[in-house]
Chains A and B, each alone.
Chain A
């Protein structure tokens, strides 16, 4: 394990310090989530060498570039299928998908539901800033009704996805939501997800002061923290059908789903053993890619 020296920031060993400063705006919540993630890694004493992190494209997609892990910055929407291949090829890896709401639920929405259905053993951290931030504040499938965006300058009118409800329905074994105000609870949830086998999904509501809060006259990063503090209500175990977000309303947070069902690789193994018996060979017997 890492020897934590109290003269340095405890999360520093988890970061690529040579890539700082990062690109995120003042008041952005993504860095806060990375802090909670790093603390979860410390708390859960997870082996960092067997941990891989996969991101898609967007502001949150840049997380992969800042963590000192085997890290993959993939294509837009495809972090989950990339992570699926990584996990299946090397089941010993702990694979984290760290991406944004647009990446995971719009362009990558199909992969999100299918990975949850298959119960692939992935830990998905979805930073939800309710908008496409990297490209300048366009409407996302998560943007609450009536919010102003650059592509809905007169207010959005499409219904938004309730992501916890979506992934629960698709089969996720662990579903939680926090905001960037809830740094300790978020770290605890991430640690818990590492203990689960199967598709875990943690949504983090996070400010985009530059494009979402400013355009909707919601103040700056600090005002958003106050808003999160005021409007969040811890509702562990509440039905996910009731946790949809509105523009100014309550934010239900907590652990909504924690259940067990066999993950993809266990099911695959069981099926092959049943059908093939001793003919089933789980791992390649000869290392075919050694250099």
Chain B
């Protein structure tokens, strides 16, 4: 369906990534946010707090991130599209509720504007060091989706995508920004509402008698009902059967947890977005995401100016990881160079997916700034020489 025009600020804007993310959420139909202030993410909810009363919806500043990350889920079951926004320390506090959202199949979006860590780390400076936490931070086996924008325009476009994926798969989606993308100001074009595709909630049309809250319906994504509609359903973080009733058997656990995993894995091709350039003729491919892809772009350009055959793969979807795409590329090139603002996170995934078919070269950075394009260029030159 098309976006609700009330939430869409159609026009050309000069805004930062945080504000663009807020506009994306409003365009996607988010009418509820719960937040707790934390640098460098707060601007998202500050804008939401200013905008939402004129659009129809609610913002509440909660007492902590534990509260924010579950308040938004209450709102989802009350019928809203909802999200929260945070950065590293707050993201750590939200982990239990990412697991709850995965287990209860609550469609929602967690925005993490990444900063340097661990702990309080570098509140005002960038990092990409929450990537593994986004995937594995909550206990138990589950799947999530994570997207990585690299510009304010993408903060708008991909926030809509994040909400759409959350609804389609009934899964929490991690929106993995970073301080630079969040605070960089660029042109953002917001199209008219009738050009924005929005995925509605997968709401059941079944009668109260026929409705099975966690029935898998063939496509593994159950239909949802909201509180107050007469379905009298039960939702629990305990292992549950198709009725939503707790059931503590290995059989129910196996069936449920595998479905939670398979509903995402079966759709990897559709969920995995990437941008590629010059891969077919490349000797070396730079694999990057988020702000680092902007720096990598410059390095690839410089390498090509020197006559080197360099390709670029930008991961827009980080999770689920595009194993097959990496394997394909690895079988064609000598090496994969992976710059990222952490001491080695997604590079391990690249290395695993490459299955030894190409050399994987890590280009770690502890955060607090971005790579110098020369560092990436040097790595490319070295990789080609090897």
List the interface of chain A (C-beta within 8 A of B): 16, 18-19, 48-50, 52, 54, 64-65, 68-75, 77-78, 81-90, 92-93, 110-111, 114, 268, 272, 276, 279-286, 288-291
B67 nearest CB neighbor, chain A only: A81
Q: Which residues of B contact A68 (CB under 8 A)?
A: 232
Given contacts A83-B74, A281-B53, A284-B55, 12 further A-B contacts (CB under 8 A): A16-B245, A54-B74, A73-B235, A78-B66, A81-B67, A81-B68, A84-B62, A89-B74, A272-B53, A276-B53, A276-B54, A289-B81
Tell whether B313 is near chain A: CB-to-CB under 8 Å.
no
C-alpha spacing A286/B7, complex, angstroms = 10
* Set of chain A residues within 8 Å of B71, measured between Cβ atoms: 81-82, 84-85, 88
Residue pairs across A and B with Cβ atoms less than 8 A apart, 23 shown, are: A19-B245, A48-B232, A52-B227, A65-B236, A65-B246, A70-B227, A71-B233, A73-B236, A75-B100, A81-B62, A84-B67, A86-B227, A87-B78, A89-B74, A89-B82, A110-B67, A276-B53, A280-B53, A285-B6, A285-B56, A288-B4, A289-B79, A289-B201
Residue among A70, A272, A283 with the highest chain B CB neighbour number at 10 A = A70
Encoded as 1 (CB less than 8 Å from any A CB) or 0, chain B from 7 to 37 comes to: 1000000000000000000000101101000
- Contact of B56 with A88 in the complex, beta carbons under 8 Å: no
CB nearest neighbor in A for B201:
A289
Contact in complex: B246, A82 (CB < 8 Å): no
* Chain A residue with the shortest CB-CB distance to B245: A19
For A71, the chain B residues whose CB sits under 8 A away are 232-235
B57 at the interface (CB under 8 A from A): yes
Residues on the A chain within 8 Å of B72, using CB: 85
B85 at the binding interface (Cβ < 8 Å): no
Determine if A90 and B53 form an interchain contact, defined as CB atoms under 8 angstroms apart.
no
Task: Using CB atoms, name the residue of chain A closest to B236.
Answer: A73
Q: Quick check: is B211 within 8 A (CB to CB) of the other chain?
A: no
A65 to B238, CA, bound (A): 10
Closest CB-CB distance, A270 to chain B, in whole Å? 12
Kindly report which residue of chain B lies nearest to residue A50, judged by CB atoms: B228
Pick the contact of A78 from B70, B233, B246 — CB < 8 Å? B70
B60 within 8 Å of A by Cβ?
yes
Contact A88 B73 (CB under 8 A): no
How many B residues, CB 8 Å from partner? Answer: 61
Contacts of A77 in B (CB 8 A): 66
Chain B contacts of A283 at CB under 8 A? 56
Name the one of A64, A89, A291 contacting B234, with C-beta atoms under 8 angstroms: A64
Contact partners of A92 in chain B: CB under 8 A:
228
Q: Are B74 and A82 in contact (CB under 8 A)?
A: yes
Q: Is B136 an interface residue (CB 8 A)?
A: no
Closest to A118 in B: B60
CB distance from A173 to the nearest CB of B (A): 19
Sorted from nearest, which 8 A-B pairs have the closest CB atoms? A85-B74, A291-B203, A89-B78, A288-B29, A89-B75, A85-B75, A73-B236, A289-B201
Say yes or no: A49 contacts B79, CB within 8 Å. no
User: What's the Cα separation between A279 and B53 when bound, in Å?
Assistant: 8
Distance A77 CA – B100 CA, assembled complex (angstroms): 13
Whether A70 contacts B96 by the Cβ 8 Å rule is no
Report the separation of the CA atoms of residues A289 and B198 in the bound assembly, to the nearest whole angstrom: 9
List A contacts of B67 (CB < 8 A): 78, 81, 84, 110-111, 114
Other-chain residue from A19, A52, A88, A280 in contact with B58 (beta carbon distance below 8 A):
A88
**Residue B320 is within 8 A (CB to CB) of chain A in the complex:** no
Q: With A84-B60, A289-B29, A289-B79 known to touch, is A69 a contact of B66 (CB < 8 Å)?
A: no
Specify which chain B residues have a CB less than 8 angstroms from the CB of A78 in the assembled complex. Answer: 66-67, 70, 97
Question: Which residues of A sit under 8 angstroms from B226, Cβ to Cβ?
Answer: 90
Digitize B227-267: 1 where CB-to-A-CB distance is under 8 Å, 0 elsewhere. Answer: 11111111111100000011000000000000000000000
**CB of B204 within 8 A of chain A?**
yes
CB-defined contacts of B57 to chain A, threshold 8 Å: 284
Interface centre among A50, A83, A85, A268 (most CB of B within 10 A): A85
Most buried by B among A77, A84, A276: A84
- Inter-chain CA distance A78–B72, complex, in Å, is 12
Q: Are A111 and B63 in contact (CB under 8 A)?
A: yes
B205 contacts partner chain A, Cβ-Cβ < 8 Å? yes
B81-106: which residues lie under 8 A (CB-CB) from chain A?
81-82, 96-97, 100
CB distance from A113 to the nearest CB of B (A): 8
Is B200 at the interface (CB under 8 A from chain A)? yes
A273 to B358, CA, bound (A): 63
Q: Which of B56, B227, B235, B245 contacts A93 (CB 8 A)?
A: B227
In the complex, A84 Cα to B29 Cα: how many Å?
20
**Nearest Cβ in chain B — how far from A169, in angstroms?**
16
Q: How far is the CA of A83 from the CA of B230 in the complex (A)?
A: 18
Q: A291: which of B7, B58, B201, B237 is its contact (CB, 8 Å)? A: B201
- Chain A CB count within 10 A is highest, among B32, B68, B71, B246, for B71
For A284, give its contact among B31, B96, B233 (CB under 8 Å): B31
Instruction: Identify the closest chain A residue to B225 (Cβ).
Output: A70
Contact A290 B200 (CB under 8 A): yes
Given the complex, which residues of A lie within 8 Å of B29, measured CB to CB? 288-289
- The winner among B68, B167, B232 for most chain A CB atoms within 10 A is B232
Q: Is B64 an interface residue (CB 8 A)?
A: yes
Given contacts A288-B4, A289-B81, contact A281 B97 (CB under 8 A): no
Q: How many whole Å from B206's CB to the nearest CB in chain A?
A: 11
Residue of B nearest to A76 (CB): B96
Q: CA–CA, A264 to B60, complex, Å?
A: 10
Q: What residues of chain A lie closer than 8 Å to B5, measured between beta carbons?
A: 286
A91 to B71 CA separation, bound complex (whole angstroms) = 14
Residues of chain B lying within 8 A (CB to CB) of residue A54? 74
Q: A90-B226, A279-B54 are in contact. Are A284 and B235 (CB under 8 A)?
A: no
Q: Whole-angstrom distance from the CB of A67 to the nearest CB of chain B?
A: 9
Distance in Å: Cβ of A243 to nearest Cβ of chain B: 26
* A286, B6: Cβ atoms closer than 8 Å: yes
The answer on a CB contact under 8 Å between A288 and B60 is: no
Q: How far is the CB of B127 from chain A (nearest CB, A)?
A: 28
Nearest neighbor of B74 in chain A, beta-carbon distance: A85
Most chain A CB atoms below 10 A, which of B75, B234, B235: B234
